[in-house]
Amino acid sequence: MEKTMCELFAGVGGFRVGLEKSDSSWNTVWANQWEPGKKSQHAFDCYVKNFGENKNYINEDIASVNKETIPNHNLLVGGFPCQDYSVAHTGAEGIEGKKGVLWWQIREVLETKQPKFVLLENVDRLLKSPANQRGRDFGVILACFNDLGYSVEWRVINAAEYGFAQRRRRTFIYAYKNSTKYFKRIEDKSLENIVFKDGFFVSEFKIANNTNGKLYDFKYKDIYDVSDNFKLDFKNAGVMRNNQIYTVDVIPQENKPTVLRKIIEDKEVDEKYYIGNKLEKWEYLKGAKDILRKAGTPHEYHFREGAIPFPDSLDKPARTMLTSESSLNRSTHVIEDPKTKLYRKLTPIETERINGFPDNWTNTGMPESFRYFCMGNALVVRFN
């Protein structure tokens, strides 16, 4: 099979970095990156700077793209936001979800281009959303795949548990047409065996045996029925095939994680990264809190949050990086510099290393604050 790939919501190219590192024969035939509401498209510029100019790298809203113009491809990849995937009936034919929800753009590409394989990434809470109808959003996604002739495997993966430098939990979704050789190879395998022995994830991300999974019939009238009525307690791994769902909480066979000490720069960093005289403010932000607040007279409630380690331990992997990394906020990493023994923030290069990117991947002319933003959005990859 020719290894042709289409990358949606490409960011700075995380899927491509990882796939091309594992196999240089991958050919990216089309990519789209668009940051809504931004005059400067720094992530797209970074993508082009690293991968080169190409008429098939598109910097526009995916909703405005005629999907027929996308080249044929065998693998569709992308990281998309966790949003409200409820579906509303309309007078027109076709599915109409909440405006702006990017899943429907993915579905439109699937329907139009029919790629054989799909690899998507989302936050771990996707499996439990929304709170008032747990599992509905993921159920809508599975139904869309099912209706288009795909089977699906999924796994929530914490990167640090498999040797990486960040405790980042993400849901990965692998879908494949029921006409593929891959499907035919595992067609006679039980859904349980696909999770534990024969499926896509288990060869690279080892897990311990666990027989406490559950099998469900996935029967529904249409996508609207799923949106209105479906709920399921999805676990962190599972398979959907031919209107059946098997889901189970798997336990990783952990690799020793990479710790921050291994990835921080071994030179003196610029003084701008040191927190200086703001120690008291940082201590407050990182500390435990129990604050009495009012939610309209006379209602009061306690806002509580636990403490975050301060400084972050150099002998543990990083916490999950957010797009606000480096700003004065609770989630930003602060370490004690091994050379100066003073507290400082991470450098952009260090955040790239936490995600497994090459040094200076985002050093492409964008503001430094956006370099952090890009890494807060990025996949964890294995480049080195």
Q: Which residues are catalytic?
A: 82
Residue 347 and residue 269 in contact, taking contact as beta carbons nearer than 8 Å = yes
Which residues are 171's β-sheet partners? 122, 156
User: In 299-315, which positions are buried (b, 16+ CB within 10 angstroms) versus exposed (e)?
Assistant: eeeeeeeeebebebeee
DSSP result, 307-323 = ---SSPPTTS-B----T
- Label residue 288 exposed, middle or buried (CB < 10 Å: 0-12, 13-18, 19+): exposed
Cα(121)–Cα(101) distance, integer angstroms = 15
Q: Three-class SS of residue 111?
A: helix
Which residues are 335's β-sheet partners? 344
DSSP result, 270-296 = PGGGB-GGGHHHHHHHHS-EEEEEESS
DSSP state of 258: P
Cα(316)–Cα(335) distance, integer angstroms = 11
Which residues are 87's β-sheet partners? 97
Cα(69)–Cα(124) distance, integer angstroms = 32
Q: Three-class SS of residue 146?
A: helix
Q: How do 300-305 and 289-294 pair as beta strands?
A: antiparallel
